[in-house]
Amino acid sequence: MIPIRDHQISGSFPVVTYGLIAVNLLVFMVQLQIGLDNQAFFYYFGLVPAKYTVYELSQRFSLFNHIYSMFTYMFLHGGFLHFLGNMWSLYIFGDNVEDHFGSVRFLGFYLLCGIISGLCHFFLTTDPMMPTIGASGAIAGVMGAYFLLYPKARILTLIPIIIIPWFIEVPAFIFLGFWFFLQLVNAAGSSAGAGIAWWAHIGGFIAGIILVKMNQGLPQTGVQKSIRQYTEKKRTPRLQMIAAKGSQDSWDLQGEIEITPFESIIGANKTVTIPWGFYNPLYTVKIPPGVKQGTRLRLARMGKIKPDGAKGDMYLKVNIKHAG
């Protein structure tokens, strides 16, 4: 399964997520210059458990190297597909998790997930001499946080069937739950030479869930509120998908449309797609200036079809992101 995009709208510009992608890209470009199969480079900057447990090897590296290797390993990649897959997953899931934590805490969360995933690999690997590289463990932590925070978010997923692409929308808890299950299966059946740190993925995912819970008990410092005034998005995406709901005793449908506080003041035009019935897949919604949280907008003739051929209406509840 290949995730294409999610439908969970982020309220802030993900400066740390994009910054992490940029740093990984710069490091990958350096790797291209020195060679993607440069084992000396991987031993120096990668996570090699034997550097900490085998005395003869440990003496070849400084104490400083022992410390920063726990960080630098998560910015290295073994090939283009390895790099692309990790960065794509970070792009899809990182913005919403960053929006939840705030930029500063998200950076700490990301690095902690990377360190914890590295430690899981350290204690459970069967090949301590093999260098471990990649952002997979840290990104698994992001995916674990997303699993807990947005379980009902819809993930547009590509499932290749031989040569035929099949696109479906999968709830996040199913997509990420299945991904985690595959990591467990592969970890249980992996051999020493498998070359993939499955236990790092598992440890990172679990760490992401635990750190979300721990963050909920930490007091807010006010730093993120100061940062958010610069990173908060002025507008929600112009195109939004409406999850329509109805009842058996009504021909009308109910949905929700999201806007920002800025848009609630000046008004906005949105293009919505409504899966129910496919009467008019794309519909323009005009949101008037000064709209309030919870205001209902009427979309005429976008409801269920009545026995006489007439159609009910759809009512969209306005949700102002970060309102109040």
SS (H, E, C) the chain: CEEEEECCCCCECCHHHHHHHHHHHHHHHHHHHHCCCCHHHHHHHCECCHHHHCHHHHCCCCHHHHHHHHHHHHHCCCCHHHHHHHHHHHHHHHHHHHHHHCHHHHHHHHHHHHHHHHHHHHHHCCCCCCCECCCHHHHHHHHHHHHHHCCCCEEEEEEEECCEEEEEEEEHHHHHHHHHHHHHHHHHHCCCCCCCCHHHHHHHHHHHHHHHHHHHCCCCCCHHHHHHHHHECCCCCCEEECCCEECCCCCCEEEEEEECHHHHHHCEEEEEECCCCCCCCEEEEEECCCCCCCCEEEECCCCCECCCCCECCEEEEEEECCCC
Q: Give the start-to-end residue ranges of the domains of the chain.
A: 2-229, 234-320
Structure tokens at 213: 């819970």
Q: pLDDT tens digits for the chain (324 residues)? A: 788 888 887 878 899 999 999 999 999 999 999 998 899 999 999 999 999 999 888 999 999 999 999 999 999 999 999 999 999 999 999 999 999 999 999 999 999 999 999 999 999 888 889 999 999 999 999 999 999 999 999 898 888 777 777 778 899 999 999 999 999 998 887 654 456 788 999 999 999 999 999 998 888 777 777 787 778 777 777 777 787 788 888 888 888 898 888 889 999 998 887 765 445 567 788 999 999 999 999 988 888 888 888 888 889 999 987 543
CATH topology of domain 2-229: Rhomboid-like fold (1.20.1540)
Distances (CA, A) of 94 to 5, 31, 91, 109, 170: 12, 24, 6, 11, 18
Is 234-320 a domain of CATH 2.60.260.20?
A: yes
Residue 71: predicted pLDDT: 95
Asked if domains 2-229 and 234-320 share a fold, the reply is: no
Distances (CA, A) of 105 to 34, 37, 99, 102: 34, 34, 10, 6
Distance CA 127, CA 3 (A): 31
Give the burial class of 41: count Cβ atoms within 10 A of its Cβ; 0-12 exposed, 13-18 middle, 19 or more buried: middle
Residue 192: predicted pLDDT: 44
Give the burial class of 22: count Cβ atoms within 10 A of its Cβ; 0-12 exposed, 13-18 middle, 19 or more buried: exposed
Closest C-alpha among 225, 292, 226 to residue 259: 292
- Side chain identity at 194, as an amino acid letter? A
Distance CA 316, CA 300 (A): 11
Residue 324: predicted pLDDT: 37
Residue 190: predicted pLDDT: 63
